[in-house]
């Protein structure tokens, strides 16, 4: 039995494995090589309900839970971490804050099409001068009648250009510090809003990561998410949940690499025996599998706590911190056990090792996770 699983989670996992094998895995190498956004996979995810898993049916969702969503990111990332982050950026960073903090009108107008997968979502907090220290927002929003006018820029925004709806943090009152930051729902076709060129990345190369530019972008007050001055709080809460998604992506990458390695060492022969016959191989695999399983337990626990409305911030940070380190370590070992073939793009572990690194960086670097965990201990 897996932690917190009900019967539906096992059946969901079975369906996701089937979907991943047929629809996601065949594209993984190509979208990485060509740095191509997997637009057709987004359409397929929409058709089976993967883009709205944890949201109630009345808001266009599938009536599932966070654990179900986590399973989707995990299973899909086993084959393709790019597709995993498209899903997690959309679900936990855009749909989720609208679901948690949005007004009924905002939910009807934005969450319904997002959860149905008719629209794709993104989340924009990071700026050139506001990375780990996200409080130093330089994007400004100035009140003007029934609107706010946004000016500034964001950097490294996942799903940029492909998203229809963006959650954007901007400073509405600098004198208030973090309490002067407000979250806005911005539509992708608003005049004055534009998307910069695609970032050239080490991994998750099929995903779109771009700068966002705001030049006198007029956003109606009706699109303020939560209240004026609540943006930083909303961003931090959103990232708490988002981290579970990244932990799931990391677990998926690690499991994918482990599975590839188990297959490979049984086939590859040296010194007249398969690599699997060497005790070093066996011990490495044992360590890898143990760490992957430990990471998955932390992951499912964090999702379980979130689903059961228990505090989960520290558990989410632990899951992300540990799972991303395990993803790095396991993919590194996977390449080592493949030898030269592992370093070649002929085998997927090369891509998986490049993909793993980002999980230690975005939605709070590993250092930030340690800050969150220790803050809970020392409070």
Partner 1 sequence: MKIVVCVKQVPDTSEVRIDQKTGTMIREGVKSIINPDDLSGLEAALSIKDQNHAEVIALSMGPMQADSAMRECLAMGVDRAILVSDRVFAGADTWATSLLLSKAIAQINPDLIICGRQAIDGDTAQVGPQIAEHLSLPSVAYVGDITLENENNLVVKRTFENGYQLIRVKTPCLLTVLSEMNSPRYMRVGGIFSAFNDGLVEVWDNSNLNLQPEELGLKGSPTKVKKSYTKGVKTAGKVFDVEPKEAAKVIIEKLKESYIL
The runs of H, that is alpha helices, within 80-122 are 81-90, 96-101, 104-106, 112-116
For residues 172 to 211, the per-residue mask of contacts with ligand FAD, x marking binding by CB under 6 A and - elsewhere, is -----------------------------x-------x--
Distance between alpha carbon 74 and the CA centroid of its chain, in Å?
10
**Strand 181-187 to strand 224-225: parallel, antiparallel, or no bridges (unpaired)?**
antiparallel
Contact assessment for residue 70 and residue 16, using Cβ atoms and an 8 Å cutoff: no
- Closer to ligand FAD by CB, 89 or 229: give it: 89
Residue 245 binds partner 1 (CB under 8 A): no
- Closer to partner 1 by CB, 15 or 140: give it: 15
Contact assessment for residue 106 and residue 152, using Cβ atoms and an 8 Å cutoff: no
Confirm whether 187 is a catalytic residue.
no
Q: How far is the CB of 305 from ligand FAD (least distance, A)?
A: 23
Q: How far is the CB of 94 from partner 1 (least distance, A)?
A: 18
Marked catalytic residue, from 23, 127, 315, 363: 363
Contacted by 367, from ligand FAD, partner 1, none: CB < 5 to 8 Å by type:
ligand FAD
Q: Of 28, 31, 42, 50, which lies in the binding site for partner 1, with binding defined by CB under 8 A? A: 50
In the range 132-171, which residues lie near ligand FAD by CB under 6 A? 132, 156-158
Helices 81-90 and 39-48 sit at what angle, rounded to 10 degrees?
60
DSSP 177-236: GGGGEEEEEEETT-TTEEEEEEPP-SS-TTS-EEEEEEEEEEEEGGGEESSTT-HHHHHH
Q: Of 12, 80, 169, 185, which lies in the binding site for partner 1, with binding defined by CB under 8 A? A: 12
- Closer to partner 1 by CB, 58 or 215: give it: 58
In the range 17-76, which residues lie near ligand FAD by CB under 6 A? none
Contact assessment for residue 297 and residue 247, using Cβ atoms and an 8 Å cutoff: no
Residue 361 binds partner 1 (CB under 8 A): no
Residue 19 binds partner 1 (CB under 8 A): yes
Beta strands in the chain (DSSP E): 121-124, 140-144, 147-158, 165-171, 181-187, 193-198, 209-220, 224-225, 269-270, 273-274
- Under the rule (CB under 6 A), what is the footprint of ligand FAD? 89, 123-126, 131-132, 156-158, 201, 209, 358, 361-363, 365, 367
Catalytic residue numbers read 363
């Amino acid at each position: 039995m897996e932690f917190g699983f009900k019967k539906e989670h096992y059946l969901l996992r079975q369906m996701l494995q089937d979907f991943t094998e047929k629809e996601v895995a065949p594209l993984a190498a190509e979208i990485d090589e060509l740095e191509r956004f997997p637009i057709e996979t987004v359409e397929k995810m929409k058709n089976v309900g993967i883009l709205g898993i944890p949201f109630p049916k009345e808001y266009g969702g599938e009536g599932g839970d966070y654990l179900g969503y986590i399973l989707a990111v995990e299973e899909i990332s086993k084959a393709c971490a790019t597709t995993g982050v498209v899903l997690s950026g959309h679900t936990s960073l855009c749909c989720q804050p609208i679901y948690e903090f949005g007004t009924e009108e905002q939910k009807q107008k934005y969450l319904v099409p997002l959860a149905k997968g008719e629209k794709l979502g993104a989340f924009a907090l990071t700026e050139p001068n506001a990375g780990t220290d996200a409080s130093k927002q330089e994007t400004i929003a100035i009140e003007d009648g029934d609107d706010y006018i946004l000016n500034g820029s964001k950097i490294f925004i996942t799903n940029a250009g492909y998203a229809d709806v963006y959650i954007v943090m901007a400073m509405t009152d600098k004198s208030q510090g973090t309490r002067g930051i407000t979250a806005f729902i911005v539509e992708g076709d608003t005049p004055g809003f534009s998307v910069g060129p695609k970032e050239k990345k080490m991994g998750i190369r099929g995903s779109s990561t771009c700068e966002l530019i705001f030049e006198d972008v007029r956003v109606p007050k009706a699109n303020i998410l939560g209240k004026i001055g609540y943006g930083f709080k909303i961003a931090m809460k959103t990232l708490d949940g988002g981290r579970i998604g990244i932990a799931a992506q990391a677990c998926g990458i690690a499991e994918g690499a482990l599975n590839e390695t188990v297959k490979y060492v049984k086939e590859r022969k040296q010194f007249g025996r398969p690599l699997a016959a060497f005790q070093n191989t066996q011990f490495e695999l044992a360590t890898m599998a143990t760490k992957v399983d430990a990471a998955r337990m932390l992951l499912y626990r964090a999702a379980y706590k979130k689903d059961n409305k228990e505090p989960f911030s520290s558990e989410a940070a632990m899951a992300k911190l540990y799972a991303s380190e395990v993803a790095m370590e396991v993919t590194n070992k996977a390449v080592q056990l493949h030898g030269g073939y592992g370093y070649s793009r002929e085998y997927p572990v090369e891509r998986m090792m490049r993909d793993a690194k980002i999980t230690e960086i975005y939605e709070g670097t590993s250092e930030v996770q340690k800050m969150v965990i220790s803050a809970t201990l020392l409070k």
